[in-house]
Amino acid sequence: MTNTSPFPTLFVDLDIVRSNISKMNDKVKRNNAEFRPHFKTHQSRQIGRMFRKFGVEGITVSSLKMANYFAEDGWKDITIAFPANILAADYYNSLAAVCQLKTLVISEKVVSQLDAQLQNELGLYIEIDPNYGRSGIPVSDHERIASVIKAIERSENCNLAGFYCHAGHTYRARSKKEVEEIAGKALGQLALLKKVFPEISLCFGDTPSCSVLEDFGPADQISPGNFVFYDWMQVEIGACTPAEIAVTMKCPIIEKFDDREEILIHGGAVHFSKDSAQNKFHTSFGQLITPELSEENYLQNLSQEHGIIHCSPGTYNSFKIGDSVDIYPIHSCLTADVMRGYYSIDGKILDHMNKSVEAF
Amino acid sequence: MTNTSPFPTLFVDLDIVRSNISKMNDKVKRNNAEFRPHFKTHQSRQIGRMFRKFGVEGITVSSLKMANYFAEDGWKDITIAFPANILAADYYNSLAAVCQLKTLVISEKVVSQLDAQLQNELGLYIEIDPNYGRSGIPVSDHERIASVIKAIERSENCNLAGFYCHAGHTYRARSKKEVEEIAGKALGQLALLKKVFPEISLCFGDTPSCSVLEDFGPADQISPGNFVFYDWMQVEIGACTPAEIAVTMKCPIIEKFDDREEILIHGGAVHFSKDSAQNKFHTSFGQLITPELSEENYLQNLSQEHGIIHCSPGTYNSFKIGDSVDIYPIHSCLTADVMRGYYSIDGKILDHMNKSVEAF
């Protein structure tokens, strides 16, 4: 594949990446917090290294495999922001031997079952659920939280890293105001939690909250991930502007269907992922980039290799078979995950974990 | 990764694969048709070779990359069932030098633009749209079809391979009867087309149609793909029974949430893909395998690494943290695409294109 490939290609603008990192880093510093960015979006050692220039030392990842991938690139302080898997104690032991490893925990049971299998010190964040409903102890259940703290204190090989909270329900917002409301409510409840447990540090940070809020309230550590690239879903949420999106898919136009004014591109679920976002007009799998971005121009449907673009008559007529279109992905984390690599604007190839290492 | 991996693992039962191939092959033979199976589902050389024992010589794929992957394994007669990309002429030329290559075409314009760049003979199927609405010339537009036939006849390096028709709207069916209606209507219109162009052979074959119909009517060649594995979407459609599904995901149980009787597994969009299927009760990302399969037990939500299982109280209580669950994927093609490899039931590792070759 070259950067003039006739096949779907994922481009990353490293200047935008640098600017996104810089802005978020500044905001974290203004909040006197520690920046522990999530690397699950880019999954790239080369992009990961860009954070070092901003003084970042602690990072966040979503799996043991990813922790291993970045530990091999010299990162020494890694949080796996996923609840501990008691079947994987051997993997925690190996990795905790070479870096300061932390992961999440929700129940006393897992603390004790994990502790019994550990040979090396493992940091445990207690995962707090701010009414998102995916995972964690409900933020208001101080009693359960206290008993997990005690279980960690009783353990031999675990230490308490803090509270970890992902307010993923901000993804349901469709305006800055809605993000502020959801994030504000979550941070309010976390502030109450911190009053009860003032010594315990709090790691917080979904991309919508961290992008929209200026004040991170009770949070001591900030760990957003998606902001490094952003994507069209974040525009819909109100978390970024289109100019802040660092990744674009370039896809060839294969055919045009005059009767329905739709364009067939090579670019399907194996390139974009099958994720979508809904706004009040439609469900979209990506946003067509045109001089004036429009609700009318979007990726309407995806099958394995096919993408169908819905567009305005003017946009339809401006393209011909053999041209390429540029598209903002709906969800850059998953698009990068299936594309497994990037081109920088000046044609360099950047790594992605999925192409670089074997799964274990 | 071993087959006792504590991480999400994709298993394939090769006995079921063999049986699925055998049943479809028998049906194709009874119809006096040629079996040209689609390999986009398994994307595996080892699974591809299983078809050779049934006398299969011609295969179908969904991309040039995939054509190349299977050509390197000795397949000599390959259809890329995707409309020709005029930017990729060099790739068609290289591949057509080592195998009988065919692809799809929809417009005269593409025939002439492609022809001008070809050095080697390329077979062209005219893609016919049976009111699915994704791609192709509407099945009743005999005039446009005739003009594309003439364009191919006028060309220097293209030959007419036939008509190619994918009735993808059978995926909207939710019973055998609905599949029969949609497929029957499509085949009826194709029979009319064949009356006008009796000399031109017809390749037909989505998995729901080929699984449900006994009589393939006017079709001369049959090219389904998904049937090799099937999946839970095909059960919902009415195209297979659960016992015919050849692939299962094994995922560890990370946590249990007593208050909402939901189970957290390691197994997210990067393992299953983000595809889903809707039935009258809910949207599902996968079906939990329990002794008695139940509408109540399914993968309710996916994020990047998290899966949330909704289940009945009895099922909830039958599992503990550290157990594994087996899940039928909703869409096996995309699950295989993101998992990039298989374990056979007896622990052998099987290849998948995404792990075996570099993209080009």
- Cα torsion A295, A299, A301, A307 to 10°: value is 160
> Would you state the pLDDT for residue B355?
85
> Would you state the pLDDT for residue A50?
98
In chain B, the percentage of residues whose pLDDT exceeds 90 is 95
Structure tokens at A143: 């009693």
> Is the dihedral angle over the CA atoms B153, B155, B156, B158 positive or is it negative?
negative
Neighbours of A94 (CB within 10 A): 15
Query: Which residues in chain B have Cβ-Cβ distances shorter than 8 Å to A61?
Result: none
> Would you state the pLDDT for residue A89?
97
Which among B107, B275, B321 has the least Cβ separation from residue A110?
B321
**B64/chain A closest Cα distance in angstroms:** 9
B274 in contact with A at a CB cutoff of 8 Å?
yes
A107 in contact with B at a CB cutoff of 8 Å?
yes
Instruction: Please compute the mean of the pLDDT values over residues B201-212 and round it to a whole number.
Output: 97
B72-79: long-range pairs with CB below 8 Å, 24+: B73/B45, B73/B48, B73/B49, B75/B48, B75/B99, B76/B100, B78/B102, B79/B36, B79/B103, B79/B123, B79/B125, B79/B161, B79/B164, B79/B203, B79/B223
Query: Which residues in chain B have Cβ-Cβ distances shorter than 8 Å to A301?
Result: 134
Which among B83, B259, B270 has the least Cβ separation from residue A337?
B270
Instruction: Flag residues of chain A having pLDDT under 70.
Output: 1-3, 356-360
B289 in contact with A at a CB cutoff of 8 Å?
no
What are the backbone angles phi and psi of residue A260, rounded to the nearest 5°?
-120, 5
> Is the dihedral angle over the CA atoms B177, B178, B180, B184 positive or is it negative?
positive
pLDDT in tens, B40-85: 999 999 999 999 999 999 999 999 999 999 999 999 999 999 999 9
> Would you state the pLDDT for residue A4?
75
Structure tokens at B314: 């009895």
Single-letter amino acid code for the residue at A50:
M
Which among A82, A87, A266 has the least Cβ separation from residue B305?
A82
Structure tokens at A41: 């979006």
> Looking at the DSSP assignment, which residues form a beta bridge with residue B167?
none
Residues 6+ apart with CB under 8 A from A107: A148, B255, B321
B6 contacts A135? CB cut-off 8 A:
no
pTM, two decimal places: 0.97
> Would you state the pLDDT for residue B357?
44
B110 contacts A255? CB cut-off 8 A:
yes
The interface residues of chain B toward chain A in range 4-23, judged by CB-CB distance below 8 A, are: 5-7
B249: confidence class by pLDDT, cuts 50, 70, 90 = very high
A360 contacts B6? CB cut-off 8 A:
no
Instruction: Please compute the mean of the pLDDT values over residues B264-283 and round it to a whole number.
Output: 95
Structure tokens at B140: 């009743």
Chain-wide mean pLDDT for chain B?
Answer: 96
B337 in contact with A at a CB cutoff of 8 Å?
yes
Query: Which residues in chain B have Cβ-Cβ distances shorter than 8 Å to A82?
Result: 254, 266, 305-306
Q: Please report the ipTM that was assigned to this predicted complex.
A: 0.96
The DSSP-derived string for A128-181 is EE-S--SSSEETT-HHHHHHHHHHHHH-SSEEEEEEEE--GGGGG--SHHHHHH
Q: At what angle do helices A176-196 and A142-154 cross, to 10 degrees?
A: 60
- Whether A86 and A113 have beta carbons less than 8 Å apart is answered as yes
> Is the dihedral angle over the CA atoms B87, B90, B96, B98 positive or is it negative?
negative
